[in-house]
Structure 1
Amino acid sequence: MGSLPEGRHFFHGDDGYESARQATVWNQRVPDRYPDVIVQAVDTDDVVAALRYAKANNKQVSIKSGGHSWAASHLRDGAVLLDMSRVDQTSIDTDAMTAVAGPGKGGSALAAELDAVGLFFPAGHCKGVCIGGYLLQGGYGWNSRVVGPACESVVGLDVVTADGDTIYIDADHHPDLYWAARGAGPGFFAVVTAFHLKLYPKPAVLGSSFYAYPIELADEIFTWARGISADVDRRVELQIVATRSVPNAGIDRPAIVMASPAFADTEAEAKKAFTLLDQCPVVDKALIAVPYAPMALADWYTAVMSNYLEDHRYTADNMWTNASAAELMPGIHRILDTLPPHPAHFLWLNWGPSPQRQDMAYSLESEIYLALYAGWMDPQDDEKYSDWPRSNMASMASLATGIQLADENLGRRPAKFVTDENMARLDRVRAQYDPDGRFHSWMGRL
């Protein structure tokens, strides 16, 4: 019953199925979950066909764009898996400062195309992350402390509903579904075939600040970082990364790195925005101190990806928190004492306090964001390293306000990612647009 695109679908057991399944996951740790059929869509007609097939055969549907989900939430036993990575069309209107892009469009590729015409969009920090999942879950990207999470710049979407109907949604057309699309993440209950994006002028200057400290200074650094949360210039993305080594900086010892971009109109403004970082109380003990240097966005992508190596196996977990440094430090010391080898790392991000957000499903963020990433190569080390992110975040859960979906581990550790009010509204909108539960909900939630 129902027909699927010829030559671009693989049933479980078919030749090519396993390679197609593994190709949907970016890192090398592919869960033992097996969709009934994988459909490699190239256009809206393929999506409609897959949804009609799912309905005719009473199958649930899961969706993949770039495959960077750490938990591989798109891999569900018995599902119809829609691989949208080939739906990557892009059109840019430089006069209107808008773009229309498919969910399979790489964020870094979009950023480069916009850069070439003097425009900007807050794309994700990692190469290979496609905009589909990134925008649906919120979108913490370049300069997002200024322009907001990227979902705030989604002005409309082309979607296919559970019944296979093709519709356009925005603030005036199906506003409830539009509200849900901006923050529902992997639990969204429609298939996005195109995002309509608001663009921005390209910032004239992208500056960089880089400090590396001995990890023994953790108490001083994180206590100071927590104390300046409200004072960090919003043009500065203060990222603090603790790791066992920093190969790209020639540091072969445990270290805490502050690597911060700042987008500004002039170099003088960028330097001024970084001034606070030179006031760290242990700055005189830095292993490396570069208060300011110009840096292209392409170089930032290269630097970020030194922590996310394609030949490694990964797990991740995270938390939002407003807790004090005194409350956080015992958990942070446990994290630092048990750090696996590079590229595993602990990320601290000074994010807020944030301005009032738009009315959308995305609704949970706090002053500080903490995330853990375990990375290793040998499958025999799965037991040794894979639970490091979850167990440490679980031990600090009493200090968390919730999590963000980008680095979620909901299958292993269910956690709050929107407000209770917004979750209730998501359930109501889902009941309207997907009453039969055609689309898989979030992992860890039936």
Structure 2
Amino acid sequence: MSELPAGRHFFRDDVGYEEARAATVWNARTPQRCPDVVVQATETADVVATVRYAQRHGLKIGVRSGGHSWAGNHVRDGGVLLDVSRLDGCAIDASSRTAVVGPGMGGSVLAGRLAAQDLFFPAGHCQGVCIGGYLLQGGYGWNSRVLGPACESVLGLDVVTADGQCLHIDRDNHADLYWAARGAGPGFFAVVTAFHLELYPRPPVCGSSLYVYPIELADEIYPWARSISADVDRRVELQIVASRAVPGAGLDTPGIVMASPVFADSEAEAAAALSLLETCPARERALVAVPYAPADLDTWYAGVMSNYPSGYRYATDNMWTSASADDLMPGIARILETMPPHPAHFLWLNWGPSPQRQDMAYSLEDDIYLALYGVWRDAADDGEYAGWARTNMAQMEHLQTGVQLADENLGERPAPFASPEAMARLDRVRADYDPDGRFHSWMGRP
């Protein structure tokens, strides 16, 4: 098969082109970049045909699976935009606790199907995000502090390489390409058509705590969060979200929400794992305080998505850091002072210290993760809000270890997302598997 899929490819002058291009970007700030052709693949043969077409015509390829991709790395001027979001098959083998899943499968959909069989996978926190880009860039999901970033649970992948070959890659087959697939993110130099996943028993208990504090208490809350970072039970995700309003708690004033999921074998264990959060020095001034309550993933997904409404405009940036609270607080104060209206928000996540990771391209993380999400509805406000995340992260750049790819802003603020050794190896593996540069690299880097 050498031609593009009939009825599912759109050149720039074709009816349906702009709809197909815009549909590949969840962010309402659709990049003003235009590929020559958009291809909507529905099977592996479509992917092979598209790659061979691009090879024959000397075109570069950007690949989209259906995540948020705030920066729209896959949308480039010229070349091919390959949309694989329709490759959404899912075959679960409960007896072996494995699954074969297409890149277009929604993580929350997968979580629901697994739960029905008492199985679990560290799917992403945002509802509807497909697993393709999520797994390639690392995958910070539910219970990932215990199970590791989700890419560690990728046993193998089915891919189409730059020369149009279909390969299965794992530890024993094309091990170098398998190494690259787990952490290369939007710079991966092949097209994934299926992931082979390791699954886990469903945790018996899913619960949470919830605290809401006045934003004026930031000088007490963040230093305390930093001081306990090494002591937070790995079954707990200590997420601290600051915004100009907390609609879920009925507050239209600025607040700091400490919402922490926990996965455990019993409710007593869950409550004990969360008990450290009762030591916050501002505890008696909390506007809302729920030390422990049963929860489920559906409830968590709904809560998370209140911060990420569809149809809005987004600009994000992030950093990993091991800096002290004294060093971080001036930047955090600046973030809070300049923060746009809700649903824009500032996320602090206690992540590490982490255990030794597997040997893979994913190779950079740190104790604390900070991420900024500029979120607004009106294009007329782009000038006022679009630079908030980038500007504040740039001012704290001297404190960063690097960034993670899920919330990257590499096109506007290049930063390391893998160790120097891993980046050098990625370049070597790319030279072997994509010597002509058929696939786009990361924005901000040739």
TM (normalized to structure 2)?
0.99
Amino acid at match of 2:280: C
CA distance in 2, matches of 1:265, 1:66: 33
Specify the alignment match of 2:280 in structure 1: 280
Specify the alignment match of 2:214 in structure 1: 214
Q: Does 1:46 align with 2:43?
A: no
Q: Alpha-carbon deviations, 1:32-59, whole Å to 9, x = none?
A: 0001100000010000000000001000
Specify the alignment match of 2:396 in structure 1: 396
Q: Secondary structure at the match of 1:229?
A: coil
Q: Secondary structure at the match of 1:392?
A: helix
Specify the alignment match of 1:4 in structure 2: 4
Specify the alignment match of 2:81 in structure 1: 81
Q: Alpha-carbon deviations, 1:65-103, whole Å to 9, x = none?
A: 014101010101002111010000000000000000000
Specify the alignment match of 2:176 in structure 1: 176
Amino acid at match of 1:223: P
Q: Judge conservation of contact 2:390–2:413 (CA < 8 Å) in 1.
A: yes
Specify the alignment match of 1:345 in structure 2: 345
Specify the alignment match of 1:290 in structure 2: 290
Amino acid at match of 1:187: G
Q: Which runs of 5+ in 2 are unaligned?
A: none
Q: Judge conservation of contact 1:318–1:372 (CA < 8 Å) in 2.
A: yes
Specify the alignment match of 1:411 in structure 2: 411
Matches within 5 A, 1:378-393: 378-393=378-393
CA distance in 2, matches of 1:430, 1:31: 26
CA distance in 2, matches of 1:263, 1:154: 21
Specify the alignment match of 2:429 in structure 1: 429
CA distance in 1, matches of 2:312, 2:52: 37
CA distance in 2, matches of 1:128, 1:118: 21
Q: Judge conservation of contact 1:169–1:175 (CA < 8 Å) in 2.
A: yes
CA distance in 1, matches of 2:277, 2:94: 36
Specify the alignment match of 2:116 in structure 1: 116
Q: Does 1:376 align with 2:373?
A: no
CA distance in 2, matches of 1:418, 1:93: 33
Q: Secondary structure at the match of 1:213?
A: strand
CA distance in 2, matches of 1:237, 1:59: 43
CA distance in 1, matches of 2:61, 2:250: 46
Q: Alpha-carbon deviations, 1:177-207, whole Å to 9, x = none?
A: 0000000000000000000000000000001
Specify the alignment match of 1:311 in structure 2: 311
Q: Secondary structure at the match of 1:437?
A: coil
CA distance in 2, matches of 1:421, 1:27: 33
Q: Cα offset for 1:311? A: 1.8
Using a 3 Å threshold, how does the CA distance of structure 1 residues 67 and 21 change in structure 2: closer, same or farther?
Answer: farther
Q: Judge conservation of contact 2:103–2:195 (CA < 8 Å) in 1.
A: yes
Specify the alignment match of 1:439 in structure 2: 439
Q: Secondary structure at the match of 2:194?
A: strand
Q: Does 1:323 align with 2:323?
A: yes
CA distance in 1, matches of 2:372, 2:115: 31
Q: Secondary structure at the match of 2:70?
A: coil
Specify the alignment match of 2:93 in structure 1: 93
CA distance in 2, matches of 1:437, 1:271: 52
Q: Secondary structure at the match of 1:54?
A: helix
Specify the alignment match of 2:36 in structure 1: 36
Amino acid at match of 2:290: V
Amino acid at match of 2:323: A
Specify the alignment match of 2:71 in structure 1: 71
CA distance in 2, matches of 1:191, 1:149: 21
CA distance in 2, matches of 1:443, 1:165: 26
Q: Judge conservation of contact 2:153–2:198 (CA < 8 Å) in 1.
A: yes
Q: Alpha-carbon deviations, 1:348-402, whole Å to 9, x = none?
A: 0000000000000000000000000000011000010001000000000000000
Q: Judge conservation of contact 2:88–2:104 (CA < 8 Å) in 1.
A: yes
Q: Does 1:333 align with 2:330?
A: no
CA distance in 1, matches of 2:400, 2:53: 42
CA distance in 1, matches of 2:440, 2:240: 35
Q: Secondary structure at the match of 1:49?
A: helix
Q: Alpha-carbon deviations, 1:310-331, whole Å to 9, x = none?
A: 0210010000000000000000
Q: Secondary structure at the match of 2:277?
A: helix
Q: Alpha-carbon deviations, 1:264-318, whole Å to 9, x = none?
A: 0100000000000011011000000011110110110000000000021001000
Matched-pair identity in %: 71
Amino acid at match of 2:332: I
Q: Cα offset for 1:2? A: 4.4
Matches within 5 A, 1:134-153: 134-153=134-153
Q: Cα offset for 1:13? A: 1.7
Specify the alignment match of 2:154 in structure 1: 154
Q: Judge conservation of contact 2:209–2:261 (CA < 8 Å) in 1.
A: yes
Amino acid at match of 2:60: Q
CA distance in 1, matches of 2:441, 2:102: 22
Q: Secondary structure at the match of 1:63?
A: strand
Q: Secondary structure at the match of 2:372?
A: strand
CA distance in 1, matches of 2:249, 2:300: 14
CA distance in 1, matches of 2:187, 2:318: 18
Q: Alpha-carbon deviations, 1:393-424, whole Å to 9, x = none?
A: 00000000000000000011000000000000
Amino acid at match of 2:344: A
CA distance in 2, matches of 1:256, 1:164: 50
TM (normalized to structure 1)?
0.99
Q: Which runs of 5+ in 1 are unaligned?
A: none
CA distance in 1, matches of 2:294, 2:164: 49
Q: How many residues align?
A: 446
CA distance in 2, matches of 1:106, 1:287: 35
Specify the alignment match of 1:365 in structure 2: 365
Q: Secondary structure at the match of 1:352?
A: coil
CA distance in 1, matches of 2:339, 2:112: 34
CA distance in 1, matches of 2:298, 2:207: 13
Q: Cα offset for 1:243? A: 0.3
RMSD over aligned Cα atoms: 0.7
Amino acid at match of 1:58: G
Q: Judge conservation of contact 2:67–2:134 (CA < 8 Å) in 1.
A: no
CA distance in 2, matches of 1:338, 1:216: 14
Q: Judge conservation of contact 1:2–1:56 (CA < 8 Å) in 2.
A: no
CA distance in 2, matches of 1:272, 1:79: 54
Q: Secondary structure at the match of 1:27?
A: coil
